[in-house]
């Protein structure tokens, strides 16, 4: 039995879905514990190419129970569409392989409206929301102005509370934004269409997870977005409205004290960022267009072109610390094969001084990247399946990232397909030994 969290180290879109799809083989339960349908995991496997927004990536594996835990923004409309889409492509989704927490809160249509209205009101100062209602949802959840999925089993109380909430939401829609209010009948029809069909999936998932623990089952926790979008540690206010870090697992699943044996931090071989906010390494012009095209860097949810730039050691080291990552899964190394020499950002210059520490968010706008270059390998590496299949320059690039991040790279992904991966079985052990030897060497020098 062992538990693992797969989390993003950077701005999101690192390839977490691809890693979870690969790793689910060894896990009995796969859990989404935070966030909503505002981002997307892209999974390419023998059944085709899928963009998952809310469903855990374990949905493609037989015998895996997938859980949407209490910490997620449960968007019934999107979830029903996602289930319909998967079923139409032959993927089984039933209460036997999907459980929804009775304590997950429901995202209502007004959350999406309020998200869009606020972005429009902000104009140039917008947050770059995907307008999926996530910020208004989490705000309402904090002020207890939404309903739990389990409340659907108490129809009278549900309708009464819905009425009270609707009164409040209509006040905000009409008086703050001059927008159209909702009628009670309209929302009750919406509940009937999108929430009632989910009832067979709704259960006490905290108990399910506790039972899985005591039965010795292994659990994989899947996060959305990355450390730099974390509400507490990220690039505020351009963060998401939930905690994207591994530390949130016990709260977002309702299983206090649950142990994580591994925290796999997913890191892309270069930087990408979708939406607004400071992005120190950002490239523009032709070289950005080339990297974006080579990497297919367009949002899984919105199709928006992602902002791109070189690998950022400062942000990655911070992300590794924030996630308490025990290992790194490095993705998209194959994308860099076209470069003669590969730029990396090794430090920032802030107020004329070099720093390797990730600055306070408000200071990021004034930070400049220090760029160094590593030799490129200029050959197709997408068929590499072992460490030794990689050209020496590619190995050096991975070694560089490992040292810059201060964390062993145990997986190197060279393509989107399930098997386009190099697994470095012993790397964690070797890394620990190398650290010990280095520390002993330093002690001798003293
Ligand atoms: P996630 O939200 O972290 O799962 O990331 P996304 O799914 O938004 O973005 C990752 C994208 O990169 C997807 O289109 C994947 O299929 C693709 N991908 C993942 N790993 C690799 C890789 O090693 N090489 C290439 N070329 N594509 C990859």
The 10s digit of each residue's pLDDT in 139-159 is 999 999 999 999 999 999 999
Residue nearest to atom 18 of ligand 1 (CA): 416
Pocket flag, ligand 1, residue 13 (CB < 6 Å): yes
Atom of ligand 1 nearest to the CA of 421: 23
Residue 1 — very low, low, confident or very high, per pLDDT cuts 50/70/90? confident
Identify the pLDDT of residue 315: 98
d(CA 174, CA 49) in angstroms, rounded, equals 41
Show Cβ contacts of residue 218 under 8 Å, excluding neighbours closer than 6 positions: 1, 2, 3, 4, 26, 27, 28, 29
Token reading at 263: 């925290």
Q: Which of 118-122, 264-268, 274-278 has the highest mean pLDDT?
A: 264-268
The neighbour count for residue 257, using CB atoms within 10 Å, is 5
Identify the pLDDT of residue 322: 98
The answer to whether residue 444 is catalytic is no
Identify the pLDDT of residue 230: 95
Atom of ligand 1 nearest to the CA of 14: 3
Measured torsion, CA atoms of residues 266, 269, 273, 279, in degrees rounded to the nearest 10: 120
Residue 411 — very low, low, confident or very high, per pLDDT cuts 50/70/90? very high
Peptide bond into 237 cis (omega under 30): yes
Identify the pLDDT of residue 392: 98
Q: Is 72 helix (H, G, I), strand (E, B) or coil?
A: strand
Identify the pLDDT of residue 10: 96
CA angle (344 as vertex; 407, 228 as ends), nearest 5: 60
Ligand 1 centroid–CA 14 distance in Å is 6
Residue 122 — very low, low, confident or very high, per pLDDT cuts 50/70/90? confident
Residue 38 — very low, low, confident or very high, per pLDDT cuts 50/70/90? confident
Residue nearest to atom 23 of ligand 1 (CA): 332
How would you class 288 by CB atoms within 10 Å of its CB: exposed for 0-12, middle for 13-18, buried for 19 or more? middle
The answer to whether residue 111 is catalytic is no
Q: What digits encode the pLDDT tens for the residues 276-294?
A: 899 999 999 999 999 999 9
**Which of 13, 15, 130 is the pocket-test mutation for ligand 1 (most atoms within 8 Å of CB)?**
15
Pocket flag, ligand 1, residue 222 (CB < 6 Å): no
Residue nearest to atom 6 of ligand 1 (CA): 13
Atom of ligand 1 nearest to the CA of 51: 7
Identify the pLDDT of residue 301: 66
- Residue predicted with more confidence, 38 or 355: 355
Q: What are phi and psi of 215, to 5 degrees?
A: -85, 5
- 85 Ramachandran zone, left/alpha/beta (phi>0; psi -120 to 50): alpha
Contact 219, 212 (CB under 8 A): yes
Q: Is 390 helix (H, G, I), strand (E, B) or coil?
A: coil
Over the Cα atoms of the chain, what is R_g? 22
Pocket flag, ligand 1, residue 414 (CB < 6 Å): yes
Pocket flag, ligand 1, residue 68 (CB < 6 Å): no
Residue nearest to atom 16 of ligand 1 (CA): 416
Q: 21, 25, 28, 41: which one is catalytic? A: 41
d(CA 229, CA 236) in angstroms, rounded, equals 8
Identify the pLDDT of residue 281: 96
- The answer, yes or no, to whether residue 61 has pLDDT greater than 80, is yes
- The candidate with the shortest Cα–Cα distance to 319, out of 268, 374, 366, is 268
Please report where in the chains the tokens 């509370």 appear, as a residue. Answer: 161
d(CA 116, CA 330) in angstroms, rounded, equals 35
- The answer, yes or no, to whether residue 349 has pLDDT greater than 70, is yes
Token reading at 374: 């590593």
Identify the pLDDT of residue 39: 67
Ligand 1 centroid–CA 297 distance in Å is 9
Residue 446 — very low, low, confident or very high, per pLDDT cuts 50/70/90? low
d(CA 38, CA 31) in angstroms, rounded, equals 17
Q: What is the mean pLDDT of the chain?
A: 94
In the chain, what percentage of residues exceed pLDDT 90? 81
Q: What digits encode the pLDDT tens for the residues 146-194?
A: 999 999 999 999 999 999 999 999 999 999 999 999 999 999 999 999 9
């Amino acid at each position: 039995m062992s538990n693992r969290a797969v989390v993003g180290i950077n701005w999101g879109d690192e390839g977490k879905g691809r890693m979870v799809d690969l790793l689910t083989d060894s896990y009995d339960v796969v859990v989404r514990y935070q966030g909503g349908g505002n981002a997307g995991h892209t999974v390419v496997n023998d059944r085709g190419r899928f963009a998952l927004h809310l469903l855990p990536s374990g949905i493609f594996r037989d015998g895996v129970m997938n859980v949407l835990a209490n910490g997620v923004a449960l968007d019934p409309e999107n979830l029903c569409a996602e289930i319909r889409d998967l079923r139409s492509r032959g993927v089984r989704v039933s209460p036997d392989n999907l459980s929804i927490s009775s304590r997950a809160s429901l995202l209502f249509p007004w959350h999406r409206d309020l998200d869009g209205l606020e972005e429009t009101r902000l104009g140039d100062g917008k947050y770059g929301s995907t307008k999926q209602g996530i910020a208004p949802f989490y705000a309402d959840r904090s002020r207890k102005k939404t309903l739990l999925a389990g409340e659907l089993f108490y129809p009278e109380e549900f309708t009464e509370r819905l009425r009270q909430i609707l009164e409040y939401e209509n006040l905000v829609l009409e008086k703050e934004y001059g927008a159209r209010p909702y009628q009670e009948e309209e929302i009750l029809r919406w509940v009937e269409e999108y929430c009632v069909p989910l009832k067979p999936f709704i259960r006490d998932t905290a108990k399910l997870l506790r039972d899985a623990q005591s039965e010795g089952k292994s659990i994989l926790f899947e996060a959305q977005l990355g450390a730099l979008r974390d509400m507490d540690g990220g690039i505020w206010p351009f963060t998401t409205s939930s905690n994207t870090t591994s530390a949130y697992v016990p709260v977002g699943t309702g299983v206090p004290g649950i142990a994580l044996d591994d925290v796999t931090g997913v890191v892309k071989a270069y930087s990408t960022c979708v939406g607004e906010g400071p992005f120190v390494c950002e490239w523009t012009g032709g070289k950005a267009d080339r990297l974006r095209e080579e990497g297919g860097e367009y949002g899984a949810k919105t199709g928006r072109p992602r902002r791109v730039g070189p690998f950022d050691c400062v942000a990655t080291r911070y992300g590794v610390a924030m996630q308490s990552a025990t290992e790194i899964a490095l993705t998209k190394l194959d994308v860099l094969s076209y470069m003669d020499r590969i730029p990396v950002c090794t430090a920032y210059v802030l107020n004329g001084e070099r720093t390797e520490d990730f600055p306070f968010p408000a200071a990021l706008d004034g930070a400049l990247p220090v760029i160094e270059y590593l030799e490129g390998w200029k050959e197709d590496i997408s068929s590499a399946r072992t460490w030794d299949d990689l050209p020496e320059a590619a190995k050096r690039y991975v070694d560089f990232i490992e040292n810059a991040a201060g964390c062993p790279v145990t997986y190197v992904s060279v393509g989107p397909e399930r098997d386009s991966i190099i697994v470095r079985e012993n790397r964690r052990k070797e890394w620990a030994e190398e650290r010990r030897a280095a520390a002993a060497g330093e002690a001798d020098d003293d």
